[in-house]
Amino acid sequence: MKKLILTLLIIPLLFACSRGDAVIEPIQAEAIHDHERCHLCGMMIKKYPGPKGQLHLKSEEIVPKFCSTRDMFNFSLQPENKRQITAIMVHDMSVTDWSHPDDKHFIDATKAWYVYGTSRKAVMGPAVASFGTEEGAVQFAKEFGGAVLGYEQITLELLAGE
């Protein structure tokens, strides 16, 4: 009887271990189409300059897209939204045009560097310019002003000007 119970306990563990061969595809950014509107404010996303953002949510087919990284952070940092996010993406402004960011240049927002308080205009208040490298952010800040920040330093208080 002990052998039977032990066997029944071990079998599920063997199946759990066999899943190691599964390949998990990285989440890819979706293209932003000409007439798409910001998930937060409803403005036309591509009508305005500066970096854009998008989120991937648990169990959701839709991908919320934003006219600015500022709006994206204002949405994603809300406690009720934060726990639903599986991926968060922003434009790498060191390799795309400020006036018309290219959908091919989205990066993982959690690994990006940001410049806050720049003179460079975007939509919805001061830009939160996103960059793939710290060097890119520093260079941008030297040219256009602003503070270089890591992902964890972007807070609702910062965005509210407190």
Domain positions in the chain: 36-159
Cβ neighbours for 77, distance < 8 A, ≥ 6 positions apart: 154, 155, 156, 159
73, pLDDT greater than 50:
yes
pLDDT above 60: residue 21: no
**Token pair belonging to 39:** 């998930």
**pLDDT band at 121; cut points 50, 70, 90:** confident
Give me the DSSP letters along 79-133.
Answer: HHHHTTEEEEEEE-TTSS-SSS--GGGEEEGGG-EEEES-SS--SSSS-EEEESS
Predicted TM-score (pTM) of the model is 0.81
Tell me how far apart the alpha carbons of residues 106 and 67 are, in angstroms, rounded to a whole number: 14
Mean pLDDT lowest for which of 17-21, 69-73, 119-123? 17-21
User: Which residue in 101, 90, 157 sits closest to 130, CA to CA?
Assistant: 90
> Which is more confidently placed, 25 or 119?
119
